[in-house]
Amino acid sequence: MKNLLIIGFIWPEPSSTAAGTRMLQLIELFQKNNYNITFVSTSLKTDKSYLLEKLNINTYDIQLNNSSFDKLLTEINPDAVLFDRYLTEEQFGWRVLENCPNALKILDTEDLHFLRFARQQTYKNNSKLTLDLLVNDVTKREIASIYRCDLSLIISKFEMNLLTKTFKISKSILKYIPFLLDNINLEKIKSYPNFKNRQHFISIGNFKHEPNWNAVLYLKNHIWPKIHKDLPNSQLHIYGAYCTDKVLQLHNVNDGFLIKGWTDNLEKVFTNSKICLAPIQFGAGLKGKLINAMEFGTPSVTTSIGAESMSGNLKWNGFICDDPNEFALKAVELYKNEKIWENSQVKGIEIINKCYSKLKFSKKLIRKIEEITNNLEAHRQHNFIGSILQYHTLKSTKYMSKWIEEKNKN
C-alpha cells in the first residue's frame, strides 16, 4: 500500500458542492489503486461534511503556522501529497518539501481561480476578457503553485489550452482530468419520470459560490419574468446549500419563484423537474449542476460560460443562449416540445459517456503518476522554473509562517 496525504482547504461536501463530488471521485480512484489515504484540513467540519471515516480514511484537524504538522507529516510519510487548490499548496507545500522531499506533489486546481476572478471583473465592468485582466495577482499565485507541484490536475480543456498556449506551461506538469463518471444508458434514464410526468424548472447551486448567487439574481431579474409570462402555471424551484436571508428574500409564490434551500436528494429534485436553468455569467471549470442534469435525464438551458468545455464536439442536451430573451424563449420551447426534450435527454447520455469516462481518465492519471514517480528527479530537473519558485517562495513563506508561529506562542 502506498500512502496518499490529501490537504483540504475545507472538508469535502459532495451534497452541496461540485468540488466535494470531485474530491470523492479522486479518493475512489486512489483507493482502487492501492493507496492508503489520510485527509487533513484546517477548517471546521459542518453538517454537510462527508464522513470520510466511512471510507476507511484517517482524518486529522491541523493548524496553520504550526510545526505540529511537520511531526504529522513524518509519521504519515506519504508517497504522494494532494493539495485541493493552490491555497493549500501555498500554506503547506514548503513543509511537505522540507519533511518529505521525495513525496510526489499533486495539485487539483478544481478550476482556475484566476480565470473565475478575471471573468467576474469583466462582468462587473461590462468589458471583454483581455490578457491584462487575466494577468492578475491571483494568476501569479496560482501559476506559481502549479510550477511548484510535480503534477496539476486540470478539469477543463479550455483551461488546459489557456495554461499551455497563453501562459506557455509545459504539458509535462499538467494532466486533463474531468469529472470521473460511470457510463449511463437510456434504460436508466427511462426509469425516471418522463416528459408528461415532470413539471416546473429547477436551478441549483451552493450560494457561497458567487457565480451561483449571481445566476439566481439574473434569473429573477432578466429571465424568469419572461418565462412565467408564457407559462403562468410554471414554477422555478431554487435549491442550494448555505441559503442566507438575502436569498430567501427572493422567494415569491405569486411569481412562481420559489427558494427551496438545500436538498439531500438530488435525484428526486432533478427527476421531478422538467428543465434545469443555469444562466451562469462568469466562472470557470466544469459545472456540477449541468452534469447532474444529464445524469438524471433533465435537459438544460445554460450560457456559453456554463457549457464551456463540457460537451466536446457533441451537441448540448438542450440549448446554449447568452441573450436573456433568447434564453427565455428556448426554455419555453424546451418545456413545451416533447420531441426536442426527449432528444435532449439522449444527447446528455452521449455527453456523459463520451466525455467523462471514469475508466478512461482514471487509467491515464495513474499511468502519469507512475511515470513521474519513477523518474521524479529528472522530472523536477526539467521543471526549472518550478525549482526557482521552490527556492524563493519556500524561503519567504517558511519564515513568515515561523514568525507567525512564534508570535502566536507569545
What is the distance between the alpha carbons of residues 206 and 241, in angstroms, rounded to a whole number? 5
Strands 275-278 and 300-302: parallel
405 vs 111: which has the higher pLDDT: 111
Across 370-374, average pLDDT = 97
Strands 275-278 and 201-204: parallel
Q: What average pLDDT does the chain have? A: 95
Q: Is the pLDDT of residue 97 over 70?
A: yes
Q: Which residues contact 289 (CB under 8 A, 6 or more apart)?
A: 18, 203, 204, 205, 276, 278
Instruction: Give the rounded percent of residues in the chain with a pLDDT score beyond 90.
Output: 93
Q: Is the pLDDT of residue 190 over 80?
A: yes
pLDDT value at residue 329: 98
pLDDT value at residue 408: 81
C-alpha cell at 208: 457561497
Across 44-51, average pLDDT = 95
What is the distance between the alpha carbons of residues 154 and 86, in angstroms, rounded to a whole number? 12
What is the distance between the alpha carbons of residues 30 and 47, in angstroms, rounded to a whole number? 26
Q: Is the pLDDT of residue 306 over 80?
A: yes
pLDDT value at residue 271: 98
pLDDT value at residue 392: 62
Least confident of 85-89, 254-258, 337-341, 389-393: 389-393
What is the distance between the alpha carbons of residues 252 and 360, in angstroms, rounded to a whole number? 45
Instruction: Give the rounded percent of residues in the chain with a pLDDT score beyond 70.
Output: 97
Which tens digit of pLDDT belongs to each residue from 377-397?
999 999 999 988 887 655 666
pLDDT value at residue 404: 76
pLDDT value at residue 406: 77
pLDDT value at residue 407: 77
- Global pTM value: 0.94
pLDDT value at residue 389: 87
What is the distance between the alpha carbons of residues 349 and 295, in angstroms, rounded to a whole number? 7
What is the distance between the alpha carbons of residues 364 and 177, in angstroms, rounded to a whole number? 9
Angle at 215 between CA 214 and CA 221, to 5 degrees: 90
Q: Is the pLDDT of residue 398 over 80?
A: no
User: Are 44 and 23 within 8 A, CB to CB?
Assistant: no
pLDDT value at residue 396: 64
